[in-house]
Amino acid sequence: MPKTEQVADEPLGKTPAKLKVTLDIDESTKRVIASFIDPETGEVKQQLPAEELVNSAEKLHQLLDRIIDIEV
């Protein structure tokens, strides 16, 4: 569930469009994720940080947890 929502004017190419901005807390990384969503289609136009980066950070965190558990 989004923590904050607002509508912002964002240029997409030559045509300005209204995008809904949502801010969420990722449960696994505890980081803020900003998503820019087309309110007409529901399509996520952009996510910051990118989904791939969030997934990589989560995998790295899991790997580090294993290393720490092994050494303890």
Q: Tokens 């045509």 label which residue?
A: 15
By residue range, what is the domain housing residue 12? Answer: 4-71
**Amino acid letter for position 38:** D
**Amino acid letter for position 25:** I
Instruction: Provide the pLDDT for residue 1.
Output: 46
Total domains present in the chain? 1
pTM: 0.56
Residue 71 reports pLDDT greater than 80? no
What DSSP string describes 11-52? Answer: EETTEEEEEEEEEEE-TTT--EEEEEE-TTT--EEEEES-HH
57's enclosing H/E stretch is helix 51-71
Residue 21 reports pLDDT greater than 60? yes
Q: Which two tokens stand for residue 28?
A: 């696994």
Residue 9 reports pLDDT greater than 60? no
Instruction: Provide the pLDDT for residue 72.
Output: 47
